Amino acid sequence: MIPAAQHTTFEPIAPGRIHRWGGAVLTVARRPDLRQTPPLSPAEQRVVQALPAWRQAEWAAGRLLAKRLVGEVLAARAEDVEILPRDDGSPYVVVGGSPVPPALNVSISHTAGHVAAALAPEPVGVDLCETASAPAVRRVADHALSPGELSLIGTDRPDALAGAWALKEAAVKADRSGIFGAAPRCIGILGLQPPVLSGRRRAMVWQAGGAVLALVLAPLPWQHCVGAPSVAGSSWSEEPLAQLARAR
């Protein structure tokens, strides 16, 4: 029996502060509050210069916030912190020229209005979805959400749709797979408030101003489902929701 759609009002999260949940540390900020240009290493400069011009500012804002978070956690100077992409596009942290131990995982998300970053000792995914993006989520919902999940979530509440999409994206980031292909359907949303995902994943969702913020901690890395190949550098090339919405 499929549960009725849930009424959703997510707990608010304060921007500009460091928050802790489930062993992870995370922070969220409004894009207009991140005006400073982050110190970029030569390797980071090569990454940002290869991006489309429209995406360079949001990429820089995400790195600025993540560098601040790493600096706070590891007591490192921002100019000594690099956040570079792996072959699959997922980020990893370098401090003083040396990669940090694998026990420190990082995830970054950005929208037109907000930026978020998270660090955790286990695979972590963080994702933002603007509530105003609910119409775009509704158009592409059948790509990532099963009929049962849509019945659980409902399609008439923008915050619920944004929260469900953010959960899916955060989960595939934690798994180091991607929002395209079969991977999103392998991760079931069993509840939205509180958020419950299939497997041994732990999740939380907050309201961050006009956006919904999801954090997912995965038990083991690279738990791709059968038939969901790695996307090798393309899954984080731009916000997946924007790609899907334009394709429909």
Q: pLDDT at residue 10 above 70?
A: yes
Spans of all domains in the chain: 19-120, 124-247
Q: What percent of the chain has pLDDT over 70?
A: 85
Rounded mean pLDDT of 185-211? 94
Distance between CA 165 and CA 184 in Å, rounded? 10
Same fold, 19-120 and 124-247: yes
Q: What SS3 state is found at 171?
A: helix
Q: pLDDT at residue 248 above 60?
A: no
What are 25-75's pLDDT values in tens digits? 999 999 988 888 888 999 999 999 999 988 898 899 999 999 999 999 999
pLDDT tier, 225 (very low <50, low <70, confident <90, very high otherwise): low
Q: What CATH number labels 124-247?
A: 3.90.470.20
175-214 as b/e, with b when 16 or more CB fall inside 10 Å? bbbbbbbebbbbbbbeebeebebeeebbbbbbbbbbbbbb
Would you call the peptide bond into 194 cis, given omega within 30 degrees of 0 as the criterion? yes
Q: Are strands 195-197 and 189-192 parallel, antiparallel or unpaired?
A: antiparallel
CATH says 19-120 is which class?
A: alpha beta
Determine the pLDDT at residue 36.
82
Determine the pLDDT at residue 212.
97
What are 110-156's pLDDT values in tens digits? 988 999 999 999 999 999 999 999 999 999 888 899 999 999 988 88
**pTM of the entire predicted model:** 0.86
